[in-house]
Amino acid sequence: MHYAALANYLMTEENNKKYKYRYIIIFATLLALIAALFSVASGCEGRAESSGGTTAGGGDAAHTAASSATTYNSVTANSVTAANNANDSNGEGEHPSDDAGGSPAYPGDTVDDAGEMPAYLGGAITNEGADADISGLLDGAAVDVEPVYLPSTLPGDVYSFAAELNGVIYSLPAPYYVFMEQGWAAGKIDLTDRVIGGGKYEFIEMANGGNVVYMGFINNTEEDMALSDCFVGLLHFGEAEAASGARLVLPCGVTIGSSYDEIIEAYGQESKRSDFNWGIVSLQYNEYDSGLELELDADTMCVTNINYKNFSRRAKLPEYEGAPPAGISDYKPPNSLGTDWRDMVCAFGGDLYSLPVPAAELLKNGWVFLSDENTMLEAGGRSGTIELRRSNQVLYTTAFNPDEAAQPLKYCYITELSYDRHNTKVSLELPGSVNERSTILEIADVYGEPVYADDSGSMFAYYEYGTDDYGIRITWSLESAYIVFIGLHANARAVE
C-alpha cells in the first residue's frame, strides 16, 4: 500500500490551504505512521521501478486503446449543497465547495472556502436498462437521465480530466460501475454495504488482478449513499502501483517516469511548485477542487507519484441565446495604457482592458469561466467571487450586471483584474510602468502617497489609491520586499 505518498499529498500546502481543518493533518499523519510501520515490518526496500512505456512526446497504441466511445446511463439530480467539514480518521472527508461567495479576498488572501457550492450533479447511478426510479433521493429535486461517455481517445488537455488506466480511457469524475465493469474491485470491502454521507469522499485501494491503484470516491448528493453508487473523482498512482503492473497515462502521454521537461512541454508552466526538504518536488496544475499534482524525485526530476482529481460534476445550463446588451456590444478596448491610472486602463496578461470590462473580452482573449458562463445574474446584481482560467492561472474576481434585465455571466462586466503571487501569476501593468515587480517607493514616486496605508503588521503592508468605487489595491510583503497582490478595480457604481 502506498500510504506515504497519499499522506504527502494530503499534507501539501495547497490541500491544507483549501480544507483548513486540522483533522486532515491528523489523518495524513496516521497514514504516514502506517507507512513507517509497514516499512519496518517489510525491511528497507529500494525504489520500485516504474513501468515502461511512453512519456510525453511519445506515441504508442495504448494511448488510443478504445476504438469507440462507450455510453452509460446515469440518473442525475441537481441543486446539491455540501459544506466544508473536517475529514475523519476513516478516510472520509467533506467535499469542499467550488465557488466562493462574497467579495474577492483582499488583499492576497485565499478565497478557497468562502461561500456556497454551486449546483452539482449527483444521484444514484444505474446501468443501462436498470431501474431509473430515484424518487425520494432529493426532496423536490428535478432529475433527468444523462449519458456518461468514456472518451475513445486520450485528449491533449490536462483539464479534460481524462486518463488511461490499463488501456481504458476514463473521464473524471466517472461512475464507479464503469471501473467495476473493467474488473476493478475493493478486495474484501463490499462497496454496496459501505455508505458515506452526502458531500463526503473516501479513498479506497482498488485492485484488478494483481494491479493496484487508489481511487477517491465522492458522494455529490445530500443523502447517504453506498460507495458503489458514487463517482470516482481521484486517481492516485505511484511507483508502487506501477510495479504492480498497472499503467496510468495522462493527457499528452505523461506517466510515471516522465521528465520535468516533458511535463512542461505537455502542460506549460505549472500553477504552483513546492520543493520539499525530503527530496520531492511537487508540480500542481489547478482549478479549485480539481487539478493534477505530480510529485518528482528532486534528483532525477522524473515523476514518481500522480494525483489526478476532479470531484466536481456541475449541471450544464442551457446555452443563453439572447443578444448581448448594447453596452457589451459597444465596448472598444483601449489602444494604449495612457498616463493616469484613473482612466482605469491596464495591460493584463499582455492584453489591454479598461475597467469595468465585459467578460466577453476576456473570453475572446482565451479566458474561460470555471462556473457556467450561462449562469444568470439579476438586473443590477453583483456576483460573489467568480473564477476564470487561462492556461494554468486562475483569476478571482467579481462580475456585475448594470442592465435592467437579468443577464448571463458572459454578458456581464468584470470589476477587477489582479496579479496575485499565490493564485494569479499573470502580469499586470498600470500607467506609469507600474507593475507587479515595482516597489512601494517606485509606485509612490509615480502616483504619490496612497489614500490608505497600513504597515503595522509583522508580515504584510496594505496600500490603496482611489475610492471604494474605483482604485488600486496593493499587498506588500514586509519580509521579502515584493508585491504579493496588486489589483485594479471598478465596481458597479463607478459606471452608472
Is residue 412 over pLDDT 80? yes
Average pLDDT over residues 232-243: 96
Average pLDDT over residues 138-152: 45
Q: Which residue has the higher pLDDT, 9 or 276?
A: 276
Is residue 109 over pLDDT 80? no
Per-residue confidence (pLDDT) for residue 25, from 0 to 100: 45
Per-residue confidence (pLDDT) for residue 152, from 0 to 100: 81
Q: Report which listed range, 58-67, 130-139, 278-287, is most confident.
A: 278-287
Per-residue confidence (pLDDT) for residue 477, from 0 to 100: 96
- The burial of 270, by beta-carbon neighbours within 10 Å (0-12 exposed, 13-18 middle, 19 or more buried), is given as buried
Domain ranges of the chain: 47-80+119-310, 326-495
Per-residue confidence (pLDDT) for residue 31, from 0 to 100: 54
Average pLDDT over residues 373-386: 91
Per-residue confidence (pLDDT) for residue 1, from 0 to 100: 43
Is residue 470 over pLDDT 60? yes
Ordered strands of the 368-369 beta sheet: 368-369, 386-390, 393-397
Is residue 6 over pLDDT 70? no
Per-residue confidence (pLDDT) for residue 317, from 0 to 100: 79
Average pLDDT over residues 81-108: 35
Average pLDDT over residues 88-111: 37
Question: What does pLDDT average to over the chain?
Answer: 75
Q: Of 157-166, 283-292, 384-393, where does mean pLDDT reach its minimum?
A: 283-292
